[in-house]
Homo-oligomer: A and B are copies of this chain.
């Protein structure tokens, strides 16, 4: 699809910080393609937990627009990624989401690639055929605290600052051996930016997420002085404890695209369960205290996570079209926790499964309502300030790629 950059710029010109985005930025098919180019093919994207490909030769695929990416662990135990398209006539090579093998063999004519992407076998080709110029096209990949991020850009943006900032928070939770306990993939019938916006505020929680609020404290912007005081008291009670354990908690200044903070659960609750009690008996790493609150880490454009004492949970957002988005939730536990003994999958997953389903409905109805001819960007509430951050982050990237709207100065990079 040819993209009309002038139209993109005109839509960006309508945006005002503090208000939801102009209609076209949510709904337009051309904007969706523009998003893919300006955001999804340039930023670092969360792809999978590292423990999803523990052994050399393990591989998974991830679909992004019409691109399919193979992510694998090579013989040296390094994570690598490649475009899933044979250099002969273009066929997909890995046809299933998970597979394993010492070589990547195209099923069409059996061209064979090593785990470093180099073409090793191409039967029947002439003797002068140059294998060295027909390797798989690489994609940047890196592991950060057990999470695999990939970037389709030729020159990826910096990820080291992010790594340094989150490691003190996340590192202690993922220091020991882990495994996938459960994974859930859902489709939300709404634009990916609405999925992110929905995640960035808890203004909607009290009316929609009773299960989540059993343990999660919904206090982003306390409404009353008395509530604020109560929250500060709760925080203070925990922070002394965390200080003693050497666990950081103050919010990281990661710019608009990164957030990392440790927050307490409601008094008397320690994990995302229906009664607030622990989900897993065997705690992560060397933890002995189940009450560590949750480290909430967010990385734009497609990832948020909770790191609790007894498990971690990771969300991956992938855009399917202007009006469809895939959301995958992955729960990790200690590698030696035994299912049925140390944890029960239903107990571990049910709070987020029901919350995801509630959010799915909210996003769908938000998307449908925005399609109204009378939709106009509405004002964010004070507790929705992180949405303004996200929209600023998004429009900056779009402006950086598609150009600043005429008659308007480009915003300073964060």
> Cβ of A66 and Cβ of B383 under 8 Å apart?
no
Rounded to whole angstroms, the CA-CA distance of A129 and B378 in the bound complex is 12
Counting every copy of the chain, the complex holds 3
Cβ–Cβ < 8 Å partners of A207 in chain B:
107-110
- Complex CA gap A383/B109 in Å reads 11
Q: A235 interface residue, CB < 8 Å from B?
A: no
| In the complex, A372 has a CB within 8 A of chain B | yes
**Other-chain contact of A91, B88, B93, B369 (Cβ < 8 Å):** B369
A92 interfacial contact with B, CB 8 Å: yes
A221 within 8 A of B: yes
Given contacts A84-B372, A370-B85, contact A126 B362 (CB under 8 A): no
Size category, A interface: 35 or more
Q: Which residue of B lies closest to A381 (CB)?
A: B124
Cα A322 to Cα B310 in complex, Å, equals: 50
Q: Report if A85-B369 is in contact (Cβ < 8 Å); known contacts: A20-B90, A207-B109, A208-B107.
A: yes
Interface flags, A49-68, vs B, CB<8A=1, else 0: 00000000000000000111
Q: What residues on B are CB-neighbors of A87 within 8 Å?
A: 376, 378
Instruction: Verify if A406 is at the interface (C-beta below 8 Å from B).
Output: no
How far, in Å, is A367 (CB) from chain B's closest CB? 9
Is residue A97 contacting chain B, with contact meaning CB distance below 8 A?
no
* A66 B124 Cβ-Cβ under 8 A: no
- Which residue of B84, B125, B362 is within 8 Å of A369 (Cβ)? B84
A366 touches B89 (CB 8 A): yes
Residues of B within 8 A of A365 (CB): 91-92, 95, 107-108
Interface residues, chain A, with chain B CB atoms under 8 Å away: 20, 41, 66-68, 83-93, 95, 107-110, 123-126, 129, 134, 137, 152, 197, 203-204, 207-208, 221, 223, 362, 365-366, 368-376, 378-383
